[in-house]
A and B are shown apart, each in its own frame.
Chain A
Amino acid sequence: MMFGEIFNKIRKKQSTPNEAPSHWVKCSSCQSLMYYKEIEKEFNVCPKCGFHMRISAQMRIELLSDVGTFEQKDTTLTPIDPLKFVDKKSYVKRITEAHEKTGRNSALISGSCTIDGVKAQLIVFDFSYMGGSLGSVEGEMIVRAINRAVQNKEGLVIVSASGGARMQESTFALLQMSKTSAALTKLTQAGLPFISILSDPTMGGVSASFAWLGDVIMAEPGALIGFAGQRVIKQTIGAELPQGFQRAEFLLEHGLIDMIVHRANLKKTVADMLRFLIQDVPTDAFELKIKQ
C-alpha cells in the first residue's frame, strides 16, 4: 500500500515509542500474524485487510503532528478521589496503577503543535488509561485546551477513544459532560473550528458531549461509536444487534458524522479542514497543492 511509504518517511525522523511491543501482532479482524514493525509503520492499520487497530496516544500524536512541534501541556493536573470511592479496588489504587502503566496522570495527552503546518491545539485520548474515561482532570484539560485555542486563535482537534464518563468520580464525571460542552460555546463565539475525530471506541459520556459537537466530525473505519453499550442495548431490547451496528459506517449512513477517514489520510484531511475553516491561516501550502 502506498501510504506505508509516506509513513516510513515520517517515522524515520521521529523517536520510537517507549512501549516495547511483543514482536508479533495478530490482526483482530483477519487474524493475520505480522511482525510488529510491519504493522507499526502503517500506524496499526492491518496491511492485509485494512482493519484499523487501536493505536497508542503517543503514536496518534506522531501520526497527526508535524515532527518536533508537539508541546505537551497541563501535565501537572492530577486526579484526586473526592468521594473516597471503593469498589473491588479503591479509586486511589486505580489511579496509581494507571499512572504506573502509562506514566501519565490522565486519560489524555494535550498540547499545541502544527498539523501539516497549521497551528492547533491537539488532544488525544489514551484508552489504556482507565479506558480513556472522562473525569475531572480530563474535563479541565479539555477546557484549558479550548481556552488556549481561543487565546491563540487556533483550531481544536480532539481524537476520542473512551468508554465514557469515569464511574469512580460519579457525578463529578457526569458534570464534565456539561463542562466541556459549555466551554465549546466559547470556541464557536471566537469563530474557531473544532475537528472531532472519533476512534475505536467512543462511547457514553464522551460521545454524548464534546465529541459529537465537532464542526467537522470524522470517524476511523470500523470504529465502535455510540451512546449506550452494546450489552446494555441487547439486554434492554432482548434481541441481537444488527451487523455493523454502531460502527463508523452505520453512523455515516444515518447522517451522524461528516466522513470516515482512513488513517493514512487523517493528517492531511484534518489540516485541510482547519485551513478551510480558520480565517487567517496562511494558505500557501494549499494553493501550491492546487497548482500541482
Chain B
Amino acid sequence: MATYLDFENSIKHIDEDIANARIKADTHAVEILERDLEKEVQKTYKNLSDYQKLQLARHPDRPYALDYIRLLMSDAYELHGDRAFGDDLSIISYIGYINQRKVIVIGEQKGRGTKNKLKRNFGMPHPEGYRKALRIAKMAEKFHLPILFLVDTPGAYPGIAAEERGQSEAIARNLYELSQLKTKTIAVVIGEGGSGGALAIGVADRVAMMRYSVFSVISPEGCAAILWNDPAKQESATKAMKITAEDLKKLNLIDDVIDEPLIGAHRDKLAAAKALGEYFINSLEALDAMNEDERLDARYNKILSVGAYKE
C-alpha cells in the first residue's frame, strides 16, 4: 500500500478514483482521471519547498539501495563482512553486472518494515560497515572493477559500541582512501545523505544526487536543535542549509542531478532505476575516456577545490 505525504493528498484522491474506475472497468473515466493526475502531478511537484523535498528523500516508499540493485544488476552476488569484526547489514555490497559491465555496488540500506529496519539499523552504519565498504572497495581496485556507491543514511550510528570501535576513525579512513582509490568510482545519493556517515561512501570521480535527495552536514532536526534551540524549527533549518540536489548543483558541490521522474522515485521505481542506471553507464564511459592519472588528478583537484572564502 502506498504512503502519501500531506501535500500528496490530491494525488491520493485521484489514485483512489482511478482504482475504483478500473474496478468498474470504466476505461473512459480512467482516461480522464489519468489526465487529471498528470496535471495534478505537475502542479504538486513543480514547486516543492525544500522541506517537502526532504520529506520525499525520506519517503517510506522511496526505493532503497537494494531496490536499485535488484532492478539494475544481473548475476549479482552479495559480499559480506569487514574481515575483522562483523557484517554490518546497514551497508550492503553486490558484485555483478550492470548493462553487461562488471561492477561492484556498495550501498547504505534502510529497512522497510519494523523487522527490516532493525536488521538494517535504520540505515545507520557502525564502524564495521564503513570498514566493510572499504575492504570491498580495495578488492574492486585490485581487480579494476568500477564501483557504484549508493548513499542513503540518516547518518553514522550514534551509539556506545560505535564509539568504542572508532566511528570517527572508520569514516576518516574512508575519506582518505577513497580520494586515491585507483578504480573508477561513481557515488549517487539516492535518498538521505546524512553528514559524515554519507560522505564516508560519497567520495568519488562523479558525485550525483537523485532529484529528490538531500545531502547535509547535520540533519535539519539536529541543526534546528543546536542553532535555533528548537527541534521544531527544522523547516527553517532545511531551507537555510541548502541541502537539495538542485541547490547543491547550483553551488557546484556535486557533479550532477539525476533526472528522477518528477512524481518521485517512490511513485515510479522503474523510471528512477532507469535514470540512475543510464547515468552510471554514461558516466563510466566518460571516465573510460580518461587515463588513470588524469582521472585521479581530476578527482583530487575536485575534492580540494571546495571552499568559500576570500583573501
Q: Is the CB of A208 within 8 A of B303?
A: no
Assuming A182-B304, A246-B163, is B240 touching A83 (CB within 8 A)? yes
Query: Does A85 sit within 8 A of B, measured CB to CB?
Result: yes
Q: Is the CB of B172 within 8 A of A167?
A: no
Residues of A contacting B248 in the complex (Cβ-Cβ under 8 angstroms): 171
Q: Is the CB of B172 within 8 A of A212?
A: yes
Residues of A contacting B300 in the complex (Cβ-Cβ under 8 angstroms): 182
Query: Does B23 sit within 8 A of A, measured CB to CB?
Result: no
Q: Which residue of A lies closest to B242 (CB)?
A: A83
Q: Which of B13-21, B133-141, B152-160, B284-292 contacts A (4 or more CB under 8 A)?
A: B152-160
Residues 103-141 of chain B, each 1 if its beta carbon lies under 8 Å from chain A, else 0: 000000000000000000000000000000000000000
Q: Is the CB of B179 within 8 A of A182?
A: yes
Partner of B163, one of A83, A86, A210, A228: A228
Q: Is the CB of B160 within 8 A of A237?
A: yes
Residues of B contacting A117 in the complex (Cβ-Cβ under 8 angstroms): none
Assuming A139-B307, A209-B175, is B163 touching A227 (CB within 8 A)? yes
Q: Is the CB of A208 within 8 A of B304?
A: no
Partner of A179, one of B217, B307, B310: B307
Assuming A177-B199, A182-B179, A254-B165, is B156 touching A170 (CB within 8 A)? no
Chain B nearest Cβ from A244, distance in angstroms: 12
Query: Does A65 sit within 8 A of B, measured CB to CB?
Result: no
Chain A nearest Cβ from B160, distance in angstroms: 7
Query: Does B180 sit within 8 A of A, measured CB to CB?
Result: yes
Q: Which of A76, A87, A165, A237 has the most CB of B within 10 A?
A: A87
Chain B nearest Cβ from A33, distance in angstroms: 32
Partner of B309, one of A78, A210, A246: A78
Taking chain A's interface residues, is the majority helix, strand, or loop, or is none over half, making it mixed? Answer: helix
Q: Is the CB of A254 within 8 A of B158?
A: no
Assuming A171-B251, A172-B307, A208-B171, is B243 touching A88 (CB within 8 A)? no
Q: Is the CB of A80 within 8 A of B309?
A: yes
Assuming A212-B168, A232-B158, A256-B169, is B307 touching A182 (CB within 8 A)? no
Assuming A212-B169, A227-B162, is B176 touching A174 (CB within 8 A)? no
Query: Does B81 sit within 8 A of A, measured CB to CB?
Result: no
Chain A nearest Cβ from B181, distance in angstroms: 10
Chain B nearest Cβ from A105, distance in angstroms: 9
Q: Is the CB of A185 within 8 A of B180?
A: yes
Q: Which residue of B lies closest to A84 (CB)?
A: B240
Partner of B216, one of A77, A171, A183, A210: A171
Complex Cα gap A92–B226 (Å): 18
Query: Does A3 sit within 8 A of B, measured CB to CB?
Result: no
Residues of A contacting B195 in the complex (Cβ-Cβ under 8 angstroms): 165, 174, 205
Partner of B242, one of A76, A171, A183, A184: A171
Query: Does A176 sit within 8 A of B, measured CB to CB?
Result: yes
Complex Cα gap A78–B242 (Å): 22
Residues 213-235 of chain B, each 1 if its beta carbon lies under 8 Å from chain A, else 0: 00111100011001111000000
Residues of A contacting B310 in the complex (Cβ-Cβ under 8 angstroms): 77-78, 80
Query: Does B25 sit within 8 A of A, measured CB to CB?
Result: no
Q: Is the CB of B307 within 8 A of A136?
A: yes
Q: Which residue of A lies closest to B169 (CB)?
A: A212
Query: Does A169 sit within 8 A of B, measured CB to CB?
Result: yes
Q: Is the CB of A88 within 8 A of B228?
A: yes
Complex Cα gap A82–B309 (Å): 8
Complex Cα gap A179–B309 (Å): 14
Residues of B contacting A256 in the complex (Cβ-Cβ under 8 angstroms): 166, 169
Assuming A137-B309, A181-B179, is B217 touching A170 (CB within 8 A)? yes
- In B191-247, which residues have CB < 8 Å from any A CB? 195-196, 199-200, 202-203, 215-218, 222-223, 226-229, 236-237, 240-243
Chain B nearest Cβ from A78, distance in angstroms: 5
Query: Does B253 sit within 8 A of A, measured CB to CB?
Result: yes
Residues of B contacting A168 in the complex (Cβ-Cβ under 8 angstroms): 227
Residues 252-269 of chain B, each 1 if its beta carbon lies under 8 Å from chain A, else 0: 010000000000000000
Partner of A170, one of B158, B164, B242: B242
Residues of A contacting B175 in the complex (Cβ-Cβ under 8 angstroms): 177-178, 181-182, 208-209
Chain A nearest Cβ from B208, distance in angstroms: 14
Q: Is the CB of A167 within 8 A of B171?
A: no
Complex Cα gap A143–B305 (Å): 11
Residues of B contacting A83 in the complex (Cβ-Cβ under 8 angstroms): 240-242, 251
The 30 listed contacts between A and B (C-beta, < 8 Å) are A77-B310, A78-B309, A82-B308, A83-B242, A87-B228, A139-B307, A167-B217, A167-B223, A167-B226, A171-B216, A171-B242, A171-B243, A174-B195, A175-B253, A175-B303, A177-B171, A179-B306, A181-B176, A182-B175, A182-B180, A205-B195, A205-B196, A207-B168, A210-B172, A212-B173, A227-B171, A227-B196, A228-B159, A233-B163, A254-B165
In the complex, besides A77-B311, A172-B308, A178-B303, 9 extra interface pairs with C-beta distance below 8 angstroms are: A81-B308, A139-B307, A167-B227, A170-B243, A174-B217, A175-B253, A207-B168, A208-B167, A210-B172
